Structure 1
Amino acid sequence: MAHVEENGHGEEDDPPYTQDGTVDLKGRPVLRSKTGRWKACSFIVVYEVFERLAYQGIAANLVIYLTKELHQGTVKASNNVTNWSGTIWMTPILGAFVADAYLGRFWTFMFGSAIYLMGMILLTIVVSLPALRAPSCGNQSVREGNCPKASSLQVGMFYLALYIIAVANGGTKPNISTLGAEQFDEFEPKEKSQKLSFFNWWVFSVFFGFLISETVVVYIQDNVGWTLGYGIPTAGLGISILVFLVGVPFYRHKLPSGSPFTKMAKVILAAFRKWKVPLPNDPKELYELSLEEYTKSGINRIDHTPSLRFLDKAAVKSTITKTSWTLSPVTQVEETKQIVKLLPLLLATFIPSIISAQTHTLFIKQGTTLDRSMGPHFNIPPACLTVFVTISMLTSIVIYDRCFVPAIRRYTKNPRGITLLQRFGTGLILHVIISITACLAERKRLSVARENGVFGKNEVVPLTVFILLPQFALMGIADAFLEVAKQEFFYDQAPEGMKSLGTSFFTTSKGVGNFLSSILLTMVSDITKRHGHKGWILDSLNVSHLDYYYAFFAVLAFLNLLFFLFVAKFFVYNAEVKKSKNVDLALGTQQD
């Protein structure tokens, strides 16, 4: 993490205040030398490590808790996991709206964190108190499938805690990474170069938190108990919030700029109301505010672009009564265009998110059927298998940032090494390979099960669990490309006043993917049981056909890759906005 040198205050080539419109919590301009950069980000990154530890401490082992403690079947437990994960990743849309329109990122994040901590405390209480904990199931009952059901109160309290956490993530998830990225002033060259590496190291911190959860926390949950297994992440989250608060004097903030949804709705409705009005040949005839007005409000003016020309009708001057719902300035139209053109690429993220969701459901359930012994006295907890994703991801990010980027940028002359869409596409190719690899591993597992007459629900196939290692490791490499690219791409290409919304696109892709995973799993399970067939996905994986299901994923991933290539071919990156030049021009105009 490079150190940014500071020149003397007042010099024209290095202004003492940030130029990107950031302020302190009281709305005052901030000194570049005393705020932001990696100094401020260090507190934010520490929070993220512990927050991801808390989240993954639940997510990694949730399918095991639902099947062993609440005694749910494979399909029901898997769907409950993906439905909860889907909600976790969808609520950030609401959080982004509140942050951009009303509270700002900091206060939205703080409210979300407080609710998050309450949810974690409640969850720890639910798994600890006998009256709220589901009844245990003896070994004989497990083998016979006669485990007592949890009461409605016990199930209800458990899910209440889970969904309090899901709602809280809506306030924290879209705002914490955006707040981190805003600690770097894009109009200062050294800080801008540091920002290019921010999302690599941000995702590194996320997966470092995962690593602790998937080893230490999961082991404690499986071998010591759920009380301590959930209590440790809860305590960690509380400590991380305190660490975040210590860094408050160093943070840079951007003021709320109004609801992005309202802004876009005004443009779209105005364009439809004037759909018969012809566009002028000269874009300069379109309605636009003066440069001084944008400078005073701290908003970057965006030049007209020829894409999505229908929306330009919103800026056409006409005989219709002038209101904000009938006439929009060019900059507002261009902001809407920048969001709309992201939507096809958002669609291209849904299939890989479906495949990624399997690492916490079916991939882990596969692990429960295999030989997990490492020596005579130690068995790998099934949820610990996801640690291979994390280790692979962490290793890949370091190699990518420290070796690949410096080497490849010599030829591409791109500061990022390769473009964001090239990194995006590489991740999609890897998801095709992951699906094929998972299919082949499952075919081998089923073959060994048949050869040894292993068909029971709780019988173990005499095959090492490490046969699943390639699909987990490849998922980590794919995440190093796709997940980082998604987060940086949607943030980078969103307009300045809609960064939280852009960041929420990343979480939306994960949320929709998890919900689609639930829908697909239910549909495939039901359809393949028709006409007297056994079905592809049963409670006993030893008589199921997950290999067919993974082959189906491979086909979907390949078709999705073709769709992405088509969309990427026509995508045009946003032009950089030089705010400092706008300020100079505005000041010059005022002086004249």
Structure 2
Amino acid sequence: MIELENNHVVKDGTVDVHGNPADKTKTGNWKACFFILGNECCERLAYYGMSTNLVNYFIQRLHQGNATAAKNVSNWSGTCYVLPLLGAFLADSYWGRYWVIAIFSMIYVFVSFFHFPIFDHCNSAVAAFVAIYLIALGTGGIKPCVSAFGADQFDETDDKEREKKSSFFNWFYFSINVGALIASSVLVWIQTNVGWGWGFGIPTVTMALAVVSFFSGSHLYRRQKPGGSPLARIAQVLVASFRKFNVKVPDDEGILYETAEEESYIQGSRKLEHTNNLRCFDKAAIPTEDDDMKGTPNPWRLCTVTQVEELKSIIRILPIWATGIIFSAVYSQMSTMFVLQGNTMDQHIGPKFRIPSASLSLFDTLSVIFWVPVYDKLIVPYARKFTGNERGFTPLQRIGIGLVISVFSMVVAGILEVVRLDLVRKNDYYDMKTLPISIFWQVLQYFLIGCAEVFTFIGQFEFFYGQAPDAMRSLCSALSLTTNALGNYLSSLLVVIVSNVTTRNGKLGWIPDNLNRGHIDYFYWVLAILSVVNFFVYLWISSWYKYKVTGIEN
């Protein structure tokens, strides 16, 4: 009977709501994930309901110019993807993912209920910015933890559950885009035709539903125990390595210090195998005469192999992380340049109905909703026959495919802008607000962005979760999100540079308020060229990357 009960215990160290080892038959798996996916769908509906049309809010209500509005949206979006570092630190160090999601969700709801009337009744830029940046704080605690918390529901030491975990990331991103679909269609229409108060008030209600959905599944969740401050452990390795700068690294790795117990001393983390790269940090795990080996060694002088390997894991993924910044800059154009480009085009469907330009992002969402099941049910089984990998493509292969597709999205957007400007020149439409060219010509560039997302963003979710040390998974998920932040900041920086350089000597520049006299096609070409260079850098970096031993094949 005892053996049978032990077989039911999850072996990855997760616990149930009472703090006991999680039971496979009663916790986790898809039955727990449905509540997590429901939470994510509602939270993303709330987020995209505020972000999708924000550039037009800045222009119409705060009377900002195109370049200023685009820069402010990029800065805010970037902040939304930097603050997850705070939420991730709290989750991995002290509170755990469950409580960070719960607490920051409630902050999100409270702030939203308190501030959403501002958007409809106040033209103060200060009040509006205070509101949206407080909302950024709320989302900063949720973003890095939800995907990792959902993946925690599958035991990666179990072959069947590990395969389901890979599928979870696909459906997690699918739920994000169901929320985004409603936001980019229904909510944007309400904001444009009914009012900003209603348009931002409805996301507040959906965020409240997200909290209800999350708490409803509490008894089913598997929770990873927080392992203490990962930043402190990294600092200890760096300090210990520096102190032993003159110590020679031995050829026999058995000399390196590791605890005798089966489990790592880091709570919620399994031991990591020693690797031969970045051997300079192995010095932190070399016992010397100055180390007290009778009791517990001072971690600022002697670290375990697992602790050293944590730092190595982070360093190894940083180059892959950096290549995601350009992709995120391309992705951010949907909420800035694509919207501004669409504002100049005919938005009518029939004689009476007019679709807001920001609503075209629903075709990005529809693309994701189309490609996720196609990838999961058709592409993966087919690719598995040729690659021999249980996931069809490795995470790095998947990311690379998305980077290629993103280049084509910029090329298509640039070609459309060339056609649009050609129409302006031939017919002297320079001062015409709306050109006689359908906004639906933008559909292809949105669709390609969505396709690229399914490969790159989901590949990043899987890669950073899988390659992260057990006690740093929230932090690594947040690290992957910071590529979105830096991509938005890069886009904002490019706009500033382009505006300053191209407006000299009395010229209007590439991104004037009247885009008919500008050249945002040049801006798209710059991003396309940067994306091509980034892809070849990525190929070089990924060619030497070695996956850590977690059942993922290289």
Please state which band the TM-score falls in when normalised by the shorter chain: over 0.9
Q: Name the CA distance, whole Å, in 2 between partners of 1:80 and 1:297.
A: 41
Match of 1:262 in 2: 232
Query: Does the C-alpha gap of structure 1 residues 33 and 493 become closer, same or farther in structure 2, counting only changes over 3 Å?
Result: same
Match of 1:387 in 2: 362
* Matched-pair contact (CA < 8 Å) for 1:92–1:171: yes
Which structure 2 residues correspond to residues 300-379 of structure 1 after superposition, within 5 A? 300-321=270-291, 323-379=298-354
Give the superposition deviation at 1:292: 3.5
Q: Which amino acid aligns with 1:183?
A: Q
Q: Which amino acid aligns with 1:453?
A: D
Q: Name the CA distance, whole Å, in 2 between partners of 1:12 and 1:294.
A: 25
Q: Name the CA distance, whole Å, in 2 between partners of 1:289 and 1:158.
A: 53
Match of 1:56 in 2: 48
Match of 2:495 in 1: 521
**Is 1:564–2:538 an aligned residue pair?**
yes
Give the superposition deviation at 1:275: 2.2
* Secondary structure, counterpart of 1:573 in structure 2: coil
**Is 1:283–2:253 an aligned residue pair?**
yes
Give the superposition deviation at 1:299: 3.1
* Secondary structure, counterpart of 1:341 in structure 2: helix
Q: Name the CA distance, whole Å, in 1 between partners of 2:347 and 2:108.
A: 34
Deviations 1:408-431 (A, max 9, x none): 112212111011111010111112
Query: Does the C-alpha gap of structure 1 residues 298 and 205 become closer, same or farther in structure 2, counting only changes over 3 Å?
Result: closer
Q: Which amino acid aligns with 1:364?
A: V
Comparing 296-305 and 471-480, the one that deviates more: 296-305
Which structure 2 residues correspond to residues 32-111 of structure 1 after superposition, within 5 A? 32-111=24-103
* Secondary structure, counterpart of 1:463 in structure 2: strand
* Secondary structure, counterpart of 1:19 in structure 2: coil
* Matched-pair contact (CA < 8 Å) for 2:465–2:476: yes
**Is 1:25–2:24 an aligned residue pair?**
no
Comparing 208-217 and 299-308, the one that deviates more: 299-308
* Matched-pair contact (CA < 8 Å) for 1:86–1:512: yes
Q: Name the CA distance, whole Å, in 2 between partners of 1:208 and 1:544.
A: 35
Match of 2:482 in 1: 508
In structure 1, which of residues 454, 457, 460 is the aligned counterpart of residue 429 of structure 2? 454
Q: Which amino acid aligns with 2:333?
A: Q
Which structure 2 residues correspond to residues 157-306 of structure 1 after superposition, within 5 A? 157-292=127-262, 294=264, 297=267, 299-306=269-276
* Secondary structure, counterpart of 2:436 in structure 1: strand
* Matched-pair contact (CA < 8 Å) for 2:228–2:266: no
* Matched-pair contact (CA < 8 Å) for 1:302–1:577: no
Give the superposition deviation at 1:30: 2.2
* Secondary structure, counterpart of 2:547 in structure 1: coil
Q: Name the CA distance, whole Å, in 2 between partners of 1:462 and 1:313.
A: 68
* Secondary structure, counterpart of 2:353 in structure 1: coil
Query: Does the C-alpha gap of structure 1 residues 115 and 468 become closer, same or farther in structure 2, counting only changes over 3 Å?
Result: same
* Matched-pair contact (CA < 8 Å) for 1:291–1:301: no
* Matched-pair contact (CA < 8 Å) for 2:39–2:214: yes
Q: Name the CA distance, whole Å, in 1 between partners of 2:301 and 2:421.
A: 63
* Secondary structure, counterpart of 1:116 in structure 2: helix
Give the superposition deviation at 1:318: 2.5
Q: Which amino acid aligns with 2:368?
A: M
Q: Name the CA distance, whole Å, in 1 between partners of 2:445 and 2:135.
A: 29
Q: Name the CA distance, whole Å, in 1 between partners of 2:498 and 2:311.
A: 38
Deviations 1:482-535 (A, max 9, x none): 010011111111011111011112211101111111111101110112244331
Q: Name the CA distance, whole Å, in 2 between partners of 1:576 and 1:392.
A: 31
Q: Name the CA distance, whole Å, in 1 between partners of 2:332 and 2:267.
A: 42
Q: Which amino acid aligns with 1:72?
A: Q
Q: Name the CA distance, whole Å, in 2 between partners of 1:161 and 1:533.
A: 36
Q: Name the CA distance, whole Å, in 2 between partners of 1:564 and 1:86.
A: 22
Q: Which amino acid aligns with 1:303?
A: E
Q: Name the CA distance, whole Å, in 2 between partners of 1:350 and 1:254.
A: 29
Deviations 1:435-486 (A, max 9, x none): 2111111111111111221223x61111111221111110000001001001
In structure 2, which of residues 400, 405, 411 is the aligned counterpart of residue 436 of structure 1? 411
Match of 1:549 in 2: 523
Which structure 2 residues correspond to residues 459-478 of structure 1 after superposition, within 5 A? 459-478=433-452
Deviations 1:206-259 (A, max 9, x none): 001000111111111111112221121111111221121111111110111011
* Matched-pair contact (CA < 8 Å) for 1:123–1:230: no
Comparing 492-501 and 445-454, the one that deviates more: 445-454
Q: Name the CA distance, whole Å, in 2 between partners of 1:298 and 1:511.
A: 29
Q: Gapped runs of 5+ residues in structure 1?
A: 1-8, 135-153, 579-592
Q: Name the CA distance, whole Å, in 2 between partners of 1:87 and 1:346.
A: 18
Match of 2:295 in 1: none
Q: Which amino acid aligns with 1:492?
A: G
Match of 1:401 in 2: 376
Match of 2:510 in 1: 536
Deviations 1:255-274 (A, max 9, x none): 11011111111112222222
Q: Name the CA distance, whole Å, in 2 between partners of 1:352 and 1:186.
A: 29
Q: Which amino acid aligns with 1:240?
A: A
* Secondary structure, counterpart of 1:462 in structure 2: strand
**Is 1:574–2:548 an aligned residue pair?**
yes
Query: Does the C-alpha gap of structure 1 residues 343 and 374 become closer, same or farther in structure 2, counting only changes over 3 Å?
Result: same
Give the superposition deviation at 1:371: 0.7
Q: Gapped runs of 5+ residues in structure 2?
A: 293-297
- How does the TM-score come out when normalised to structure 1? 0.90
In structure 1, which of residues 404, 411, 420 is the aligned counterpart of residue 395 of structure 2? 420
* Matched-pair contact (CA < 8 Å) for 2:227–2:266: no
Comparing 436-445 and 270-279, the one that deviates more: 270-279
Match of 2:104 in 1: 112
Q: Name the CA distance, whole Å, in 2 between partners of 1:533 and 1:159.
A: 31
Q: Which amino acid aligns with 1:362?
A: M
Q: Name the CA distance, whole Å, in 2 between partners of 1:273 and 1:296.
A: 22
* Secondary structure, counterpart of 1:33 in structure 2: coil
Q: Name the CA distance, whole Å, in 1 between partners of 2:186 and 2:504.
A: 43
Query: Does the C-alpha gap of structure 1 residues 441 and 297 become closer, same or farther in structure 2, counting only changes over 3 Å?
Result: closer
